[in-house]
Amino acid sequence: MKSTSGNKYPWLPYVEFLLIFGILLAIDTQVGPGLGFRTLQQLPYLGLLLLFGVFYGIPLVLFASLFIGVAILIVFPWIQQTPIPPVDYGFFVLFFLGSLGSSSRIDGLKATVLAYRRRIRAIAQREWNVNKQNRVLIRVQDELEERVVRQSDSLILLSKQLRTLERSDLNEALNILLETIHIYSKCTKATIWVLDKAKKQFVLTTSFGYEPEERPPKFRNLEKNPQAWALKNLELYSVRNIQSNHEVGAYDDQTTILAMPIILSQGPWAVVSIEEMPFEKFNPYTETLVQLIVRLSEPGLRRIWELDRIYSIHETYTQTGLPLFSLLLRAMPGAYQRANEENSEFSVLIIELIHLDLEKYDSLIKEVETQLRNALPENAQLYHYKADEQLVVLLPDLGEDGVALMAINLLSSTGENAWPLEFILGYSTYHPGDEENPTRLFNSAEQLLEIQRI
């Protein structure tokens, strides 16, 4: 038997009492008249009264006393046809008072125990809360420490990337810039568009994440596109601002997510554009990171650009103003890298003028240059080659068949008096996976020239 304080069935003790009382009463009614109250037959009932008083408290003592009193003092004498001795009254009163006193004491003990339980429970709850707070604080501390470590690693990586950028040539530096933006923004497609002020257009200089067949067009105008907006306002373009700014919406091209201008000493020079990135990374924090990376890269890019410009001034052929062959050799690593990344080909085309009159060299060579620029693709790069009568052209994205067809077209145009003098051509093509050897590439083109000289 156990206490049912707080039990969701408060009537259960009363049912237990009635059940036990009924069993005792049923047994008692079957006993003969010789066994009555005077033989202390009331003891089981009085014991039951005392037992329930100890375990269940005062309310059940009063309830049990009513039933037991009626049974002992009224029912039994009537059944046994004997009067009740005064001592029986004394026994009943004594057990009743004892049960009442014990139940009162037990209730007090229960209240004390309950109070102790509540205190222990409260202490345990406070300790559990403290432990929970400690665990949370430990996790927060671990997260903060991990964040500090991550930020420290990020700063070290960013510093390393910027130092590498400053030691590179211009093409490689732009590739490093896109790689750094990819590391911190997780963008999957990005481009850099350099401003061509003379032709009033953007030129695609560097790209990241594009397959050869899905690369954007090489050129882009300066009207109504995100790159133009970024260049015009000298601040970050973001599709996040389209809803709040109608002017930004007018420049949306359904492709560009972010566009950030690169500003050098002479003013806006290029635009970094992000065309694809994970949705969860598109947030103000990433925008701030992109701006920070571009701004930190600008001093290094400025020095590289100025140095490149100085080289280009001093490394031009005096009579034509064309870049010298040495500049082309410095540009070859960038051409190899771009071809390998984009799985594309490029070719070199050497043009050797025949019977060149040195007295008319200046005018003739300039006329040849003009004719070449009209006949060559817009992304072709024209250089002076080794001898006075030799020019060389770097042709990005043009394979062996394309350069052969171009050579045929150039040679056939001489018969139409489009050229001031005759020339011979030699060409060679680089395929991704070939050896990156500029000397071998140019020697292969020179071999075609030797064959035509014979």
* Of 73 and 368, the one with more pLDDT: 368
User: What per-residue confidence (pLDDT) applies to 380?
Assistant: 85
Structure tokens at 148: 């500090």
Mean pLDDT value of segment 40-46: 61
Taking 80 as the threshold, does the pLDDT of residue 140 lie above it? no
Residues 282-310: tens digit of each pLDDT: 888 889 889 999 998 888 888 888 777 66
Instruction: Output the average pLDDT for the chain.
Output: 78
Structure tokens at 157: 């990586």
Entry field: residues in the chain: 454
> What H or E segment, with its residue span, contains residue 55?
helix 43-56
User: Cα 348 from chain centroid?
Assistant: 43
Dist CA 172 CA 290 (whole Å): 19
Mean pLDDT value of segment 18-42: 59
Taking 70 as the threshold, does the pLDDT of residue 82 lie above it? no
* H-assigned helices in 315-399: 325-342, 361-375
Percent of the chain with pLDDT over 70: 69
User: What per-residue confidence (pLDDT) applies to 427?
Assistant: 93
Dist CA 287 CA 237 (whole Å): 9
User: What per-residue confidence (pLDDT) applies to 270?
Assistant: 92
Structure tokens at 22: 């009924």
Taking 50 as the threshold, does the pLDDT of residue 4 lie above it? no
Taking 60 as the threshold, does the pLDDT of residue 34 lie above it? no
41 to 51, 65, 350: CA distances (angstroms): 17, 16, 133
User: What per-residue confidence (pLDDT) applies to 36?
Assistant: 40
Task: Name the CA dihedral angle for 355, 360, 364, 365, rounded to a multiple of 10 degrees.
Answer: 90
Residues 165-203: tens digit of each pLDDT: 877 778 888 888 999 999 888 899 999 999 888 778 898
User: Cα 302 from chain centroid?
Assistant: 31
Task: Name the CA dihedral angle for 368, 369, 370, 374, rounded to a multiple of 10 degrees.
Answer: 100
Q: Which CATH architecture has domain 177-313?
A: 2-Layer Sandwich (3.30)
Question: Ranked by mean pLDDT, which of 85-94, 220-229, 269-278 comes out on top?
Answer: 269-278
Dist CA 173 CA 204 (whole Å): 15
84 to 37, 88, 390: CA distances (angstroms): 7, 7, 146
* Of 406 and 111, the one with more pLDDT: 406
Mean pLDDT value of segment 368-387: 81
Return the CATH fold of 315-453.
Alpha-Beta Plaits (3.30.70)
Instruction: Report the candidate in 349, 342, 351, 338 with the shortest Cα–Cα distance to residue 436.
Output: 338
Taking 50 as the threshold, does the pLDDT of residue 2 lie above it? no
Question: Ranked by mean pLDDT, which of 107-121, 345-359, 393-407 comes out on top?
Answer: 393-407
What is Dmax (Cα atoms) for the chain? 163
Residues 210-237: tens digit of each pLDDT: 887 788 888 888 888 899 999 888 899 9
Range from 103-117, 135-149, 232-246 carrying the lowest mean pLDDT: 103-117
> What H or E segment, with its residue span, contains residue 123?
helix 86-166
Q: 268 forms bridges with which residues in the sheet? A: 263
Contact 171, 206 (CB under 8 A): yes
User: What per-residue confidence (pLDDT) applies to 224?
Assistant: 82
Question: Ranked by mean pLDDT, which of 41-50, 104-113, 262-271 comes out on top?
Answer: 262-271
At residue 374's C-alpha, the angle toward residues 370 and 378, to 5°, is: 115
Mean pLDDT value of segment 133-161: 76
Dist CA 355 CA 371 (whole Å): 18
Per-residue pLDDT band for 38 (boundaries 50, 70, 90) equals very low
Taking 60 as the threshold, does the pLDDT of residue 434 lie above it? yes
On whether the pTM is more than 0.85, the answer is no
Per-residue pLDDT band for 254 (boundaries 50, 70, 90) equals confident
Taking 50 as the threshold, does the pLDDT of residue 429 lie above it? yes
User: What per-residue confidence (pLDDT) applies to 374?
Assistant: 78
Contact 162, 181 (CB under 8 A): no
Taking 60 as the threshold, does the pLDDT of residue 40 lie above it? no
Dist CA 453 CA 79 (whole Å): 150
Three-class secondary structure of residue 381 per DSSP: strand
Mean pLDDT value of segment 34-56: 58
For residues 269-288, b (16+ Cβ closer than 10 Å) or e, as one string?
Answer: bbbbbbbebeeeebeeebbe
Question: Ranked by mean pLDDT, which of 83-97, 365-379, 439-453 comes out on top?
Answer: 439-453
Mean pLDDT value of segment 8-18: 72
User: Cα 145 from chain centroid?
Assistant: 19
